Chains A and B, each alone.
Chain A
Amino acid sequence: MQLKMALAGNPNAGKTTLFNQLTGSRQHVGNYPGITVDHKEGLLHYEDQTIVITDLPGTYSMTAYSAEELVARDYLVYNRPQVVINIVDASNLERNLYLTCQLLELGAPLVVALNMMDVAEARGIEINAAVLARHLQVPVVPIIARSGFGKDALLSAALQVASNNPQWKPLNISYGDDLDSTLVQLIETITSESLMTETYHSRYTAIKYLENDEQIQAKGREISPKTAKLLEQLVDKTAEHTNRTLDVYPEAIIADHRYGYIKSLLRQGVVTRKFDADRLYTSDKIDKVLTNRLVGPVFMLAILFALYQFTFSWSEMPVSWLENAFKWLGNLVEARLPDGVLKSLIISGIIDGVGGVFGFIPLIMFMFFGIAILEDSGYLARVAFMMDRIFRIFGLHGSSVMPFIVSGGIAGGCAVPGVMATRTLRSPKERMATLLTVPFMNCGAKLPVLALLIGTFFGENKAKYMFFFTMLAWIVAMLAAKLLRSTVLRGVPTPFVMELPPYRFPTIRGLFIHTWERTYQYMKKAGTVILGISILLWAMMTYPGLPEEVTASFDQKHQAAMAAAPPEIAAELKNKNGLLSDAAKNLNATITSINNEKAETALRQSIAGKIGTSMEPISRLAGFDWRTDIALVGGFAAKEVIVSTLGTAYSMGQVNTTDSQSLSDHLKADNNWNRVVAVAALVFIMFYSPCFVTLVCIAKEASWKWAGFSMAFNTIIAYLLAVAVFQIGTFFNLG
């Protein structure tokens, strides 16, 4: 039989780290709140027992104030795990035990894992786990989730609790005369009417009514409107009384009594401190500087710029190595395979298509490494805090910052988890505005396009331009959000409260794991989805092929050119031994020109070519030719495809040359491309429709109507911006 265990705790207490330690999974861990929005399951075998462990989202309480709290509480009451492991940050015991109190009030069979004992020790905090266990009447096990210390003892304690087949027994805390007397009346009514008694203990439901828990109140109204009305009247009367006499709502009194209960526990020999309890730690001192309203933003911009500088300067060499490796591979296939469809598929469809995306792996890796440092150190949470002020101006919420960063706010994220992270927003309108604008960020899939075009046309200042385009993504996203919040999503802003995790030194192992996880996802996508789409687009660019009479006309041109040349020159070109004479070079140029014209005609006549050509009258206003149009259409499936499709499109126009050229060389040589076109293309690619997977995710989180809106809204904005850039840039001759 499988045993069900759940991991519950405050945000940043180390639940996911422990989950990964116990199950061997590699779920993403971050040093900021809101990483785990949904619950995740993993399997573990311990002492011949199969255990299903569920990692719940981090919560501060068990009252439905946020999506995470709802997910956590619903999981616990509807799935009834045999054991709940409550991860408690030992260095911040008082605050963390607040949730423990509520889990005990819920009646969950608990094991407390005192995590980060090393941090507590470094802060001069000594915790007597045995005394705490005696007072709480549940096992308390000291652990260090990052190193795995105490893991076995924790599992043994959890199994011990499970073996006793525990019943859900709630803890009773006194909330003072006023509330206690109301509680008695509420419990009587709840019990006599059997309101939600199969799910919650009557006392727990009564407390939640007093705490103004919207979910419980709504459920009560749904099950028995009459009883619910009676309960609400009692609660309103008490709230009115506490408000009049104490100037507070009952929930504040409840919080005060819970903290009081915790403080009284801790004073009974649980905690001894070497230093003053109120002293400010290094983390707080750093915050005084890094979050200062004047110098904080300066530090933030400097840190982000340094990240780009680091990424581009350190990745330059490995990127060129990979580029050369793919060139070499292309040449090898070119030389070994006979002309035909297979050769075209391998060179144009696979090597140039997927190679274009794979070539950027070093850059992606360095970017992910830099982001992992910011994330694991806790700095990203400060970025969210500082950005909140700006977000308010544009009608967004401070909690929107994290979805933006996850989506690629520092370049290199992904809009799919970003869209899902919007669940942490309480206001539906702010959530929708965030959800619709996070795809404007420069996700990991857009990075190769940015790197390619910036590297090709602005190679001298890559980091500066990358920084500029990141800032541009933010500005456009903010303006789009303002537009949405002033029109279709008009509404009042909701307040922002967020806990800032302490600064921590990232571990080398953690940094490498995070970097590798994301890079592997990128590689996996390039090797599967992108490969598939590349082959499909190659087929669309190859078939139906040229009609026989057109092929014959090009063959005639070819033969005529060869026949017009002196026989010895034709023979010299055919044999191609050593250096060609000037006459042979001229003939070679003529033949290459005919072949290129043939390849270009074939590409234009293909399915993809016809689509691209049909779009050209509109796209020309933004400076895009039909080849770029094909790539942009491919980008609807996944943004990485833009680079791979451009690679394939240019590769298919390149016939009978002596050496494979990189895509960058092709773009530089193409008259249709210049700096202005590159900026217009970058602007369009950054802002047009989210990729298909993101659209599906938006549809899941909102509706297909909003997914359709996102596609149309983003594409219109992107097109208008690209046209403006191209027309103004061309007018001032900036290309």
Chain B
Amino acid sequence: MLRKRDKGNSSCFTDTVKKCLGRHHCSDLVSPLSKRGETGRIKICKVTGDRAICSRIAAMGVYPGVEADIICSGKGSRCILKVNGGTVSFDADVSQNILVTNL
């Protein structure tokens, strides 16, 4: 669990997202999951798109800050992620909205 920091209003959770999206050390590595051509370990930086889908996949363990394994990379199409012990598959539209970075 990402816990609150002692000072300031930004939480660790905030930092996790900001680190990935705030053009710090990993901005050049962030890309949609659908563009990943290789299997391997990644970290989810941001999930965009339809709110209901974002919520559903969050319930399945896919939300910003989580680490996962790409089991099957679609490279422009579907893909399979192993996350939080489960194996979740997405179509191109959803995987396009999941921004990830290499670990």
Contacts and interface: CB of A to CB of B under 8 A. Distances in A.
Interface of A: 60-61, 63, 65-66, 91-95, 98, 176-177, 211-212, 214, 245-249, 251-257, 259-261, 263-264, 278, 280, 283-284, 287-288, 291-293, 296, 385, 388-389, 392, 398, 426, 493-502
Contacts of A260: 1-3
B89 A498 contact: yes
Contact of B93 (A91, A493, A498, A502): A493
Given A248-B64, A389-B78, A497-B90, A60 B1 contact: no
17 contacts: A60-B56, A95-B85, A251-B51, A259-B66, A278-B41, A284-B69, A287-B71, A287-B87, A292-B72, A385-B78, A398-B91, A494-B53, A497-B57, A497-B88, A499-B89, A500-B89, A502-B87
Given A245-B14, A248-B17, A495-B50, A255 B91 contact: no
A293 B77 contact: yes
Given A211-B55, A293-B74, A497-B90, 7 more contacts: A245-B14, A246-B14, A259-B84, A264-B1, A293-B72, A389-B78, A495-B94
A8 to B, nearest CB: 14
Contacts of B67: 278
A261 B59 contact: no
A63 B59 contact: yes
A252 B63 contact: yes
B80 interface: yes
A61 B59 CA distance: 6
B86 A246 contact: no
Contacts of A389: 77-78, 91-92
B102 to A, nearest CB: 15
A255 B63 contact: yes
A288 B39 contact: yes
Contacts of A177: 4, 9, 11
A498 B13 contact: no
Given A278-B41, A284-B82, A288-B39, A498 B58 contact: no
A498 B88 contact: yes
B72 to A, nearest CB: 5
Contact of A252 (B47, B80, B84, B87): B47
Contacts of A251: 51, 54-55, 58
B85 A497 contact: no
Contact of A256 (B54, B63, B85): B63
A63 B56 CA distance: 9
Given A60-B56, A61-B59, A291 B72 contact: yes
A288 B72 contact: yes
B53 A497 contact: yes
Contacts of A214: 52
Contacts of B75: 293
Contact of A291 (B11, B50, B80, B94): B80
Contacts of B89: 385, 388, 496-500
A94 B60 contact: no
A253 B84 CA distance: 16
Max chain A CB contacts within 10 Å: which of B49, B51, B85? B85
B36 interface: no
A95 B1 contact: no
B25 to A, nearest CB: 17
Contacts of B87: 283-284, 287, 499-502
B56 A249 contact: no
A498 B89 CA distance: 5
Contacts of B17: 246-248
Contact of A495 (B13, B49, B85): B49
A264 B3 CA distance: 11
B56 A257 contact: no
B46 interface: yes
A492 to B, nearest CB: 10
B42 to A, nearest CB: 12
Nearest to B14: A246
Given A251-B55, A389-B78, A287 B72 contact: yes
Contacts of B54: 249, 251-252
Nearest to A264: B1
Contacts of B13: 176, 246, 253, 256
Nearest to B70: A288
Given A247-B21, A251-B55, A261 B94 contact: no
A65 B56 contact: yes
A543 to B, nearest CB: 57
Nearest to A498: B89
A257 B93 CA distance: 26
A95 B86 contact: yes
Max chain B CB contacts within 10 Å: which of A254, A284, A292? A284
Max chain B CB contacts within 10 Å: which of A251, A256, A260? A256
Contacts of A91: 85
Given A247-B17, A498-B89, A95 B60 contact: yes
A176 B78 contact: no
B55 A255 contact: yes
Nearest to A397: B91
B59 A65 contact: yes
Contact of A288 (B10, B65, B71): B71
B3 to A, nearest CB: 8
Contacts of B64: 248, 252, 256
A496 B90 contact: yes
A381 B98 CA distance: 22
B28 to A, nearest CB: 18
A94 B67 CA distance: 14
Contact of B86 (A92, A296, A494, A496): A92
Given A248-B64, A497-B89, A98 B59 contact: yes
Nearest to B60: A60
B62 to A, nearest CB: 8
Contacts of A93: 85
Contacts of A65: 52, 55-56, 59
Contacts of B90: 495-497
Contacts of A497: 53, 56-57, 60, 88-91, 94
A423 to B, nearest CB: 16
A263 B59 contact: no
B37 to A, nearest CB: 11
A261 B84 CA distance: 14
B55 A212 contact: yes
A261 B1 contact: yes
B84 A280 contact: no
B88 A247 contact: no
A25 to B, nearest CB: 28
Contacts of A245: 9-10, 14
B99 to A, nearest CB: 10
Nearest to A378: B87
A246 B51 CA distance: 15
Contacts of A252: 47, 54-55, 58, 63-64
Nearest to B48: A247
A500 B80 contact: yes
Nearest to A212: B51
A501 B3 CA distance: 32
A235 B85 CA distance: 32
Contacts of B66: 259
A252 B56 CA distance: 10
Contacts of B1: 256-257, 259-261, 263-264
A388 B2 contact: no
